[in-house]
Structure 1
Amino acid sequence: MTGGDAVALEDEFAPGGTGATAWTTGRIITKELPAPHLVRLRLHVEDRQRHWPGQHYLLRLRAPDDYTAQRSYSVASGDSDPLVELLVERLPDGEVSEFLADVAEVGDVLEMRGPIGRWFRWDTRTPALCLVGGTGVVPAISMIRAARHLGRSDLLRVLAVARTPEELPYAEELARAGATIAFTRHATSTRPAGPPTAAEVAPLLAGAEVAYVCGSSRFAGFGEELLVGSGFSPEAIRVERFGVTGS
């Protein structure tokens, strides 16, 4: 996309997700299991609205007796992608995640609502740092893809954390994007095992005006404390945490 098209994209997609969104449907176009506990879906969404990186969709399942269960999932795809990509962690006794991993098939139609979220979205213009852990890398992937598409990769830095290489989703894409990767239980040739430190974070924060932290409640608390302890303003930190219910 040319620079002129990038401006047009911003003009068109500025309203996206700012108001209430109606329920629509998404048809599963591809389904992959990149790890035993993960399912990656790419969906064609009817009446799709444009989205900002960092936003999410609600997925709702409906039983024959009209019982419903719904969960929120961050968008991994960039807005320029014709399909909406979601990465779902299969949780024990998770009504929605178990169905998506074990039952749903290509061609199935799901109820969806989105894009949703003002607090955690990135405007693609403000220099930012993403500090993400585990499946919390998903919104960072959307930000990476949007930045690359708009020619603004220099505005985004990513620090991704996982216990081992096998537990880091999108590991190859993160590496290609130049993300800093920290494994807490796996040493590499350039880094000992352990959580990221203030010394590692400091150069990534240089010039950043906003920071996004996404992961489990425990990780989110650690990440926020690390950023504040590194001198970053608490008012410029956006936190998205998830628990076993996906709420």
Structure 2
Amino acid sequence: MARAAIPGGLSARRAWRPARLLERRVETASASTLVLEVADWPGHLPGQHVDLRLTADDGYTATRSYSLSAPAEGDRVEVTVQRVPDGEVSTFLCDDLQLGDAALLRGPVGGWFVWRPEQPGPVLLVAGGSGVVPLMAMLRARPADGPPFRLVYSVRQPDDVIYRAELDALGRAEGVDVRYVFTRRGAGEDDGDERPPGRLRAADLDAAGWGPADAPTCYVCGPTGFVEAAATILAAAGHDPARIRTERFGPSGS
């Protein structure tokens, strides 16, 4: 089966484009989604990311990479930013960037950690913390009659779940299974989940219809330690390493 091309030519993806903030949505106490209007946006695939550059009045510039959190929609681009303690850029984007303010955006970037609607077979998504962002773009791009999806999402506690209301609704849809793993405390009184708190375990990824024999494409995203642990669990269970795609950031787990 022929693959869809990565949107935009190489020179187009390397070009900086003016972007303007249209909307900011608060997702959790530390995460916000920015909806940007980007001039002549070439489009993107779920799982890709962009570079965002801010320039201060004195000429100082700062550039950071952020995963795209929604499918392409004309010149509208969405990124979800997790505020980093003492992080100058993430704090500014979450708290101070005003509607109508300008920035520069480059991309889309990445061609391996992407999901294409024409891909055959089931899809297993494994997220740690804000690693859910590119996986959410995949979930949002899945058509109603698309292949089965399963998301296993590991966070410290229920209040840290990004996109909670939308994920709960998606989990009730035909062909989509959403499972939360809380590492610091169980869902308890909030969710009635009897799983004791703790890091991701093999049992969290073991479910009927999602084993190696079903040949799902596995996408794992999150902090480096989390991604390494999850990929090891999948490989040990017998999943084909060629079907385990990873994207990581930072030095520690969730």
TM-score normalised by the chain length of structure 1? 0.85
Does 1:241 pair with 2:221? Answer: no
Does 1:199 pair with 2:203? Answer: yes
Identify the range of structure 1 (34-43 vs 130-139) with the bigger mean alpha-carbon deviation: 34-43
Could you tell me whether the CA contact under 8 Å between 1:129 and 1:205 is conserved in 2? Answer: no
Could you tell me whether the CA contact under 8 Å between 1:75 and 1:138 is conserved in 2? Answer: yes
Q: Distance in 1 between matches of 2:101 and 2:123?
A: 37
Identify the range of structure 1 (208-217 vs 191-200) with the bigger mean alpha-carbon deviation: 191-200
Alignment equivalent of 2:139, drawn from 116, 120, 144:
144
Q: Distance in 2 between matches of 1:92 and 1:123?
A: 34
Q: Which amino acid aligns with 1:110?
A: A
Could you tell me whether the CA contact under 8 Å between 1:129 and 1:210 is conserved in 2? Answer: yes
Q: 1:43 to 1:242 in 2, by over 3 A?
A: same
Could you tell me whether the CA contact under 8 Å between 1:17 and 1:118 is conserved in 2? Answer: no
Identify the range of structure 1 (36-45 vs 68-77) with the bigger mean alpha-carbon deviation: 36-45
Per the alignment, residue 14 of structure 1 pairs with: 5
Q: Distance in 1 between matches of 2:54 and 2:84?
A: 16
Alignment equivalent of 2:44, drawn from 44, 47, 51:
51
> What is the SS of the residue equivalent to 2:206?
helix
Where structure 1 has 5 or more consecutive residues not aligned to the other structure, the ranges are: 1-9
Could you tell me whether the CA contact under 8 Å between 1:42 and 1:83 is conserved in 2? Answer: yes
Deviation, structure 1 residue 230: 1.5
1:92-241 paired onto structure 2 within 5 Å: 92-124=85-117, 125-126=119-120, 127-148=122-143, 151-152=145-146, 154-178=147-171, 179-188=178-187, 189-192=192-195, 193-203=197-207, 204-205=210-211, 207-241=214-248
Q: Distance in 2 between matches of 1:222 and 1:18?
A: 35
Could you tell me whether the CA contact under 8 Å between 1:129 and 1:208 is conserved in 2? Answer: no
Does 1:66 pair with 2:70? Answer: no
Where structure 2 has 5 or more consecutive residues not aligned to the other structure, the ranges are: 172-177
Could you tell me whether the CA contact under 8 Å between 1:78 and 1:143 is conserved in 2? Answer: yes
Per the alignment, residue 35 of structure 2 pairs with: 42
Per the alignment, residue 6 of structure 1 pairs with: none
Q: Which amino acid aligns with 1:239?
A: T
Deviations 1:109-144 (A, max 9, x none): 110001111121112224321110111100111000
Could you tell me whether the CA contact under 8 Å between 1:17 and 1:117 is conserved in 2? Answer: no
Taking only aligned residues, the RMSD between alpha carbons, in angstroms, comes to 2.2
Q: 1:17 to 1:197 in 2, by over 3 A?
A: farther
Could you tell me whether the CA contact under 8 Å between 2:53 and 2:64 is conserved in 1? Answer: yes
> What is the SS of the residue equivalent to 2:232?
helix
